[in-house]
A and B are shown apart, each in its own frame.
Chain A
């Protein structure tokens, strides 16, 4: 009972062996011009109209100039879910799956607010229709969460899923072949210490991934896994964190200006 194999360069390899990876591989950047943008959950959406409206207004002004893909963060409701689930001692994968409901809600709300400007809600499954949506002048809006859900690995140190909306947005940019992902938060980016707790905290306008990892900070402005991914990324090597509470920052970022904080792989 021989194995019926189809001839291919990989036919007999063990896909698990690191040495099986010597192809001539030049991946295609699917849609590198798309501006992949995260709208922060706790930082923007949980602030309500005071923060959300100005952010959306700025994005709408840019919609005819750029292809905007808006990805939403979670926020306080996700934290509440994680809190309750952790108290019930449920596995990380359950937290990840349940936390996923919140960014989808946020994306739906943003869609309703942007509907008259072409905002549409898309699911992970609709991802392949992006070219159609952009051709029609739509603004696709989706969850920032990756679809790992119950398949999120158990946490090293606690139950919070490691891959949340920062990771999801980075991975979206990476698969589309975009060089930079823009994160709209409520601060000018990275600081030496938490500016919400220390008003004199020093701003960091640009930092390399290696340096950020080396600093081994107890807290980070971006999910830790994203730094590891940046090291292996083929396309998305830059994250830009901008302050959505300051009018003009988003517009500048879309124009390619290095406002806020740039985290780059050197």
Chain B
């Protein structure tokens, strides 16, 4: 049993980090190791875009619901939903009002909640459930019962969103989902958007935008397109991440693309972590 140590005025519990400054690089490096334990490595996280899918209504959502229902039990899935136009509107009004950046981050999650409920209403008879994102310790129960948990994507940084150079909160939904997958040791994340993946510029604005079917994190970090379909912070976080090896972007508007991605096919855009 660890001892209590006194003598310098403080009462310490004996541990390798006792009395050390946790800012000391050498001390921090001691906590590193080659391996890392993976908590739920066989689960796939699927993110469904807010503006790209939900805001398009039944024509986009219902076929996706059918695709997800069809793979129930075949894969262990967690579904994350984005916010969409309501988030953009929230941010727009908030900035106009002068809401501080942390306050904006606090506000956006609420607009994702509605999409989680919409999706759940449609999938419930196929075994879905809305799961508060912090309840992932219950995932083994849900996944063993072949349930499809649906969660919101935005991370809970809330008022404590760190100031970024731009007025927009940097830690958005795509980052939130990525981080969810990473902390649970998942190997892959699939984002369902309304484009067949990554392009060198926004294909909605530029007719000559080139599709990128396959790339690596290293290549992207070296030459990041200015207009990105995913949060920039996702790639930042991926640099030091250990578990997610593959981020795939598919179009939810192309029937069957998600199913193929789940089966391991390299459709859409596949970004591999690579030897970084």
Residues of A that sit less than 8 Å from B by CB? 1-6, 8-21, 23, 25-30, 42, 46-48, 50-51, 76-77, 79-80, 82-84, 86-94, 124, 127, 146-151, 153-160, 163-164, 167-168, 171-172, 174-175, 177, 194, 218-225, 228-229, 232-235
Given known contacts A23-B167, A218-B25, is B240 in contact with A14 (CB within 8 Å)? no
- Chain B residues 28 to 74 lying within 8 A of chain A, measured CB to CB, are 28-33, 35-37, 39, 51-52, 55-57, 59-60
In the complex, A47 Cα to B20 Cα: how many Å? 15
In the complex, A220 Cα to B26 Cα: how many Å? 12
**B125 interface hit (Cβ, 8 Å):** no
Check A25–B228 contact: CB distance below 8 A: no
Contact of A151 among B85, B92, B98, B157 (CB under 8 A): B157
Residues of B that sit less than 8 Å from A by CB? 2, 9-13, 15-33, 35-37, 39, 51-52, 55-57, 59-60, 84-89, 91-93, 95-103, 134, 136, 155-168, 171-172, 174, 176, 179-180, 182-183, 185, 194, 202, 204, 226-232, 236-237, 240-243, 253
In the complex, A127 Cα to B171 Cα: how many Å? 20
12 contacts between A and B (CB under 8 A): A10-B92, A15-B91, A15-B168, A16-B232, A76-B12, A80-B18, A83-B16, A93-B183, A151-B180, A160-B28, A174-B100, A194-B21
Query: Hey, which chain B residues are within 8 Å of A150, CB to CB?
Result: 134, 136, 179-180, 183
Contact of A6 among B89, B100, B162, B227 (CB under 8 A): B89
Check B182–A91 contact: CB distance below 8 A: yes
Check A91–B11 contact: CB distance below 8 A: no
Query: Hey, which chain B residues are within 8 Å of A76, CB to CB?
Result: 10-13, 15, 18
The binding surface of chain B is classed by DSSP as loop
Check B242–A171 contact: CB distance below 8 A: no
Check B85–A21 contact: CB distance below 8 A: no
Given known contacts A79-B17, A91-B183, A174-B163, is B228 in contact with A14 (CB within 8 Å)? yes
Contact of B56 among A2, A28, A79, A164 (CB under 8 A): A2
| Shortest Cβ gap from B230 to chain A (Å) | 7
| Shortest Cβ gap from A65 to chain B (Å) | 26
Query: Hey, which chain A residues are within 8 Å of B93, CB to CB?
Result: 8
Check B88–A1 contact: CB distance below 8 A: no
Q: Which residue of B lies closest to A3 (CB)?
A: B55
Check A154–B237 contact: CB distance below 8 A: yes
Q: Which residue of B lies closest to A6 (CB)?
A: B89
Query: Hey, which chain A residues are within 8 Å of B159, CB to CB?
Result: 124, 127, 171-172, 175
Given known contacts A15-B172, A151-B183, is B30 in contact with A158 (CB within 8 Å)? yes
Query: Hey, which chain A residues are within 8 Å of B237, CB to CB?
Result: 153-154
Q: Which of B11, B37, B162, B165: most chain A Cβ within 10 A?
A: B162
Contact of A25 among B95, B185, B194, B243 (CB under 8 A): B95
Check A93–B157 contact: CB distance below 8 A: no
| Interchain residue pairs A-B with the least CB separation, the first 6 | A175-B102, A8-B92, A93-B183, A1-B59, A21-B166, A158-B28
Check A146–B160 contact: CB distance below 8 A: yes
Query: Hey, which chain B residues are within 8 Å of A79, CB to CB?
Result: 13, 15, 17-18, 20, 22
